[in-house]
Structure 1
Amino acid sequence: MGDEKLPIIVLDGGLGTTLEDVFHRDISNPLWSARPIEHEPEVIIEAHLSFLRAGARIITAATYQCAYNTFENAGYTRADAQRIMRKAIRLARTAKERFLAEQPAVGAGDIKIALSFGPYGSTVNANEFDGMYPPPFGPEDPERNTFLREEDDRYEQSLQALKNFHLERLAVFSEDDHSWNAIDWIAFETVPLRREAIAIRMAMAELAASGVPLKPWWISTVHPFGTYPEPVSAEESGDGGHLLPARQLVHALLGQSTRHPTLPVPTAVGINCTGVTFLPDILRDMSAATKHLQSGSTRDKPMLVVYPNGKEWDLERKTWTHPEAEDQDRLRAWDSTLVGILKPYVEAADGAWGGFIVGGCCKSGPAEIAALASRIAQL
């Protein structure tokens, strides 16, 4: 690599919790952060602007929970759902334009808009954290998120259902040139299951086959309390229930198989909506698995995307906390911890990654992103 410095791009923070904590909006509804798109568009623009002013160079549109079924549950027609989803991109673009007018020294190409897509579970009672999906997206047994050896047909049905779910959302934007041209990245976030990662890649393959020019894209995975929600299946371990090795997760994100030999590879992969204190072990294992998968490959290295939560979730008290301190001490602890964890990977002479996208997820607002951007600038 020589003296070449790998790119580090600052991502924004958690839009939904920022609307709650900074802009004092109630988002406790099926649409979550998407509700203000229709009723308070200016607050969405201001939230995006707050992150841009803090130093973020990628802002994520308010589309995380946008899907036809979530809008239907909130009482909207399919036509209204489509209109509102596309409006979210216009609001992000408006924020970008206003920021560029404020900061003429910043180039238009330096500010990127990411289309945000949560997993299927984000549309069904926040099941993105355990991957317990109803049929046909998951098993009949509500206590399992993986399929048994004898359920191969249902596994394939699940793959197709998940692929169609993501492809349908992609089509909302790809079929509208105005929206698609404004989008720079596609972020598939908080993915709790390997088969959903594979289904996302299948959806992107089908989109490309239809003639749509693909954007750079990432898949980020969720690791509640430091572990991936999907255990090793009974087919793989004999009895199931064991923690999933990183190599199997990375293979779903970046690899190929006899069953799916030509899946497109994401521009970036990584972790979001996970406590920062869990990152060292997860990143160590994911980086080693990625480097192993690349052995002998001429393909470009993927970027690593990492955006942990700004606080830790206390399961017993059902509240957000920080394990060390609050207020300004907490800010310093969060950004310094995150950058300290990432620094060895950024400085590695022959590492697994081709660049980095770093930001925050839930409970990371403009203040956290400003502190993070300042620290990253010193690397």
Structure 2
Amino acid sequence: MSTLVLDGGLSTHLEALGADLRDELWSARLLLEDPGLIRRVHADYFAAGADVATTASYQASIPGFVRRGMDEAEAARLITLSVELAAQARDEAGHGLVAASVGPYGAYLANGAEYTGDYDLDEDGLLAWHRPRWEILAAAGPDLLAVETIPSCPEARALARLLEETPGVKAWISFSCRDDEHLNDGTPITEAAALFAGNPQVVAVGVNCTAPRFIPGLIARLTELPVVVYPNSGETWDADTRGWTGLTDPIEYGQAAKEWQGIGASLIGGCCRTTPAHIRQVRAHVS
């Protein structure tokens, strides 16, 4: 399998272009207020060398939009719009794929739970919560779903069941991890990845929004499957201040991407706090 270069942090580049994302809806707010800026971010990542645009639906959900006063029909329209914007940028670039972001339940909670897996829903509750957005995104016509930043095994099991319910859908599955062996809730990544092993709908399993220093060890535990990795900068999300704290991992991103490719990753990009400059480095270093 040849290496696919993913995009980088959508919200990071939106903020660099002047967007204020200090809001529970985060980048999804711009689906309502400034969709053209989202399309520009997708275009900038394609120009930087990305093969994939990941949609602005990570924090978009029916309950999240309804909580802001919209009805369900308007919420569904905005979720569909996220795919349309990425597809427009892809068509303008003349190449690439659209991956519809399926963010975790913790993103809706907006309390940092995607970095802990501390949820108030069980597996069945998570299945019911995810299903409406999943169905809307699948119907919008992306090339695949990017099931990302999953911090817990119960949520992974719920999403594995959803995938089985929709046999025509392709997806990558990406976990958020606290070290080089475990999901954020403490589940060994090998246990979580096994839920998706052998499913022909799954194009890759891997890790995102995790510190770069943990990526080599995590890849080593996933070599039986195509591997997707798109770490954050190594900083830590503070849910109270809604900002990133700490220091970035001291790596040269392109060289690191080449290392990740060499030990088994076949889809490589960036997550929070990475930019088009990081993706240009990845493109320059991977074949």
TM-score in same-fold range (> 0.5) = yes
Q: CA deviation at 1:169?
A: 1.0
Residue matched to 1:340: 259
Gaps of 5+ in 1: 1-5, 101-109, 138-157, 232-243, 256-262, 292-301, 325-329, 347-355
1:254 to 2:197 alignment: yes
SS of aligned partner of 1:168: helix
1:33 to 2:27 alignment: yes
1:91 to 2:85 alignment: yes
1:69 to 2:63 alignment: yes
C-alpha deviations, 1:275-327, integer Å up to 9, x for none? 1111122222333xxx3xxxxxxxxxx32111011343387x95252243xxx
What is the aligned length? 281
Q: 2:203 aligns with which of 249, 267, 271?
A: 267
Residue matched to 1:321: 247
Gaps of 5+ in 2: none
1:245, 1:33 → 2: CA distance?
30
2:253, 2:197 → 1: CA distance?
29
Residue matched to 1:169: 133
Q: CA deviation at 1:161?
A: 1.5
* Contact kept? 1:269, 1:305, Cα under 8 Å: yes
The alpha-carbon distance between structure 1 residues 245 and 91, as it changes in their structure 2 partners (threshold 3 A), is closer
* Contact kept? 1:13, 1:364, Cα under 8 Å: yes
2:24, 2:64 → 1: CA distance?
6
* Contact kept? 2:51, 2:97, Cα under 8 Å: yes
The alpha-carbon distance between structure 1 residues 265 and 319, as it changes in their structure 2 partners (threshold 3 A), is same
1:230 to 2:230 alignment: no
C-alpha deviations, 1:336-379, integer Å up to 9, x for none? 12322331326xxxxxxxxx1110000111010011111113xx
* Contact kept? 2:208, 2:232, Cα under 8 Å: yes
TM-score, length basis structure 2: 0.90
* Contact kept? 1:311, 1:362, Cα under 8 Å: no
1:97, 1:245 → 2: CA distance?
39
C-alpha deviations, 1:92-150, integer Å up to 9, x for none? 111112222xxxxxxxxx4100100111111112311101111xx1xxxxxxxxxxxxx
1:219 to 2:173 alignment: yes
The alpha-carbon distance between structure 1 residues 127 and 264, as it changes in their structure 2 partners (threshold 3 A), is farther
> Quick one: which amino acid aligns to residue 248 of structure 2?
H
SS of aligned partner of 1:338: helix
Q: 2:8 aligns with which of 5, 13, 21?
A: 13
Q: 1:306 aligns with which of 210, 229, 243?
A: 229
Give the RMSD, CA atoms, in angstroms: 2.1
* Contact kept? 1:61, 1:89, Cα under 8 Å: yes
Q: 2:277 aligns with which of 367, 372, 376?
A: 367
* Contact kept? 1:307, 1:359, Cα under 8 Å: yes
TM-score, length basis structure 1: 0.69
1:336, 1:314 → 2: CA distance?
25
Percent of matched pairs sharing the same residue: 30
Residue matched to 1:240: none
> Quick one: which amino acid aligns to residue 268 of structure 1?
A
